[in-house]
Amino acid sequence: MKKLVVLSFLLVFISNISAQKSEIGIGFGLSTYYGDLSGDILLNNLKQSHPAVQVIYNYYFNRYFNSRISLGHGTVSGDDSFSTKDWQKERNLSFQSSITELSGIAEFNILGINHRINPFLYSGVNIFHYNPKTFYKGEWIYLQPLGTEGQGSYLHPDRPKYSLMDISLIFGGGIKFKINPSLMLSLELGWRRTNSDYLDDISKDYVGYSELKRTNGELAATLADRTNEYNGFSPESRIAGSQRGGDKIKDYYSMSFINIVYTLNSGNPIKRRNKVICPGF
C-alpha cells in the first residue's frame, strides 16, 4: 500500500516544464458510504448521501494527461435500519462522520482536451480525516475515544485505538464540457477505497458487555451493542466473540461532483506542434 501511495504521488507531482495550461475550480455534489452499515440495496445507500464540496487545481502536461490537487469535504453515514435483512436491523447500529480529504490525482483525457466534449478517467491517493459518531439520548457521541470493540483495553493489546487520519486509493471517471476557451463544466464520480475498516467504528466482534463496561466504561458497553433498543435483547447475554462486523473488506466511500472550472493560463499544450516552413527562393 505504501509503495502505491508513493508511486501515485510521484506520477501526480513530477511536472513537465513544457506544459503551461492550468485551471482552478469548485465542485458541488454528494458523498456516500459503503461498509458494514450499508443497506443491502444500492438505493438505500444513496438515500444516505450527503452534500459535498471540493476545490481543485489542474495542471496539464499535454492534450491527454493532467494532474489534479483537490481539497474536499463531505459527510458519510450508515444505519442498520435501512437494511431489509432482519439480522442487520436487530444489530441496530448507526454512525455519521464528516470527511476532509487532500487528494493527488492523475487524469487521462480520452479524446484529448481539444474536444468540446471529453470523457476522462482518473486515479490517485488521498489523506483524509474522519471521526465517527452516533446519536444517543438526544446528542451526538464520538465513538473512537470509547473503544467499542475493546480498543485501548489492557485485555486486548492487539486492538489499539484506530487513527482518525488515514489514506485511500481513488479511482473514477467523468466527462468534461468546454463552454468557452476559459470555462469548463465537468461531471465526475469517484470511489475511495480506504485503508481503514473503522470509518463506521465497526470491524470485528463483540466484546463481552461486563468486560467492556469494566475496562472502557458503561457508555462504551452500551453503544457497542444496541440490539436491546430494537428487540429488548439483553447485552449481558451476548456471547463474547460473536460477529459484530466484517474485517475482510475495508470501508469505501464515494464522492460525485459537478465542477465549474476556470482556465488560469492560456498557454496551451493542446495545440499541435507547428510545422517548419522552409523559405522559398
pLDDT above 70 covers a percentage of the chain that reads: 87
Average pLDDT score, the chain = 89
What CA–CA distance (Å, rounded) separates 143 from 150? 12
Which of the listed CATH numbers 2.40.100.10, 2.40.160.20, 3.30.950.10, 2.40.50.140 matches domain 2-130+151-197+248-265?
A: 2.40.160.20
- The set of cell numbers assigned to 248 is 475482510
What CA–CA distance (Å, rounded) separates 247 from 224? 16
Model confidence over 130-174: pLDDT tens digits? 999 999 999 999 999 999 999 999 999 999 999 999 999 999 999
The domain spans of the chain are 2-130+151-197+248-265
Residue 267 has what pLDDT? 59
Residue 43 has what pLDDT? 78
Written as one letter, the residue type at 9 is: F
Model confidence over 40-55: pLDDT tens digits? 777 778 889 999 999 9
Residue 41 has what pLDDT? 78
What CA–CA distance (Å, rounded) separates 281 from 43? 73
Q: Report the pLDDT averaged over residues 257-261.
A: 98
Q: Report the pLDDT averaged over residues 182-205.
A: 96
Predicted confidence (pLDDT) at residue 189 exceeds the cutoff of 60: yes
Residue 103 has what pLDDT? 98
C-alpha distances out from residue 87 to 20, 33, 194, 228, Å? 57, 20, 26, 13
Residue 244 has what pLDDT? 94
Predicted confidence (pLDDT) at residue 270 exceeds the cutoff of 70: no
Q: For residue 181, give the nearest of 114, 259, 269, 119 by alpha carbon.
A: 114
Confidence band for 280, pLDDT divided at 50, 70 and 90: very low
Give the residue, 17 or 171, on which the prediction is more confident. Answer: 171
Is residue 113 a contact partner of residue 270, using CB atoms and an 8 Å limit? yes
Model confidence over 26-82: pLDDT tens digits? 999 999 999 999 877 777 788 899 999 999 999 999 999 999 999 999 999 999 999
Residue 268 has what pLDDT? 52
Predicted confidence (pLDDT) at residue 8 exceeds the cutoff of 90: no
Predicted confidence (pLDDT) at residue 1 exceeds the cutoff of 50: yes
